[in-house]
Amino acid sequence: MQDPNEDTEWNDILRKKGILPPKETPKEDEEEELALQQQSVVKTYEDMTLEELEENEDEFSEEDEAAIEMYRQKRLAEWKATQMKNVFGEVAEISGQDYVKEVNKAGDGIWVVLHLYKQGIPLCTLINQHLSTLARKFPQTKFLKSISTTCIPNYPDRNLPTIFVYFEGEMKAQFIGPLVFGGMNLKVEELEWRLSETGAVKTDLEENPKKQIEDKLMSSIRSSLPTRKDSDSEDED
């Protein structure tokens, strides 16, 4: 008996005249076609927003549900990461009542820089100005300020300014008192460097700016000192 699926010229003629049914598609071709269909579905939901995925989820087959869920989670993670990167950007004022929520429960992966200050202390004012600059430069770090005694009752003024650095609710560093900051000569780059050493910010500075100032100071002192030859000639006189 003639196989209707056999590739012969006679069978092709019979197929054209409708005497034989169309040749069955081999299984491999079917699988390839199915794979192409699935790829086109993947491309469709790869390009979709989270809202569109929810609207069209009934149109996808059960086989695609796992892949769709993976893309949903991936897009959700990307969205959260983008949101987290730019949530801050300024120094927020808090009170003692906000402390636990804003500092201890800041969230996963969040660095918090808290400045305890009092009005009328020039170094506190300077540090608040520097922190405003750094908050704009590092929007992924949460910068806070609080009047010391509203945050911690009876906190001594001699400890001001004070900066506490937290990560995921745990204290990682503390800077207490004016001597730690080097007084009114404190530059914003120096404060940035100090905070970068704690991990709170990712600086693009290659070395401690304070060191550069100290090196220049030492070289100027050395150049102003009399040389050994000069001192010997003075002794002879």
Q: What is the mean pLDDT of the chain?
A: 78
In-domain check, residue 182: yes
Q: Are 208 and 195 in contact (CB under 8 A)?
A: no
- Domain boundaries, position 161: 90-207
| CATH (domain of 143) | 3.40.30.10
In-domain check, residue 99: yes
In-domain check, residue 152: yes
In-domain check, residue 71: no
In-domain check, residue 225: no
Structurally, the chain folds into a number of domains equal to 1
Lowest mean pLDDT among 3-7, 90-94, 138-142, 166-170: 3-7
In-domain check, residue 107: yes
Lowest mean pLDDT among 67-81, 86-100, 154-168, 199-213: 67-81
Q: Are 106 and 168 in contact (CB under 8 A)?
A: yes
pLDDT in tens, 70-114: 777 887 777 666 655 557 889 999 998 999 899 988 888 899 999
Q: What is the pLDDT of residue 83?
A: 58
Closest CA to 111 of 163, 159, 69: 163
* pTM to 2 decimal places: 0.57
In-domain check, residue 35: no
User: Where does the pLDDT of residue 43 fall: very low under 50, low under 70, confident under 90, or very high at 90 and above?
Assistant: very low
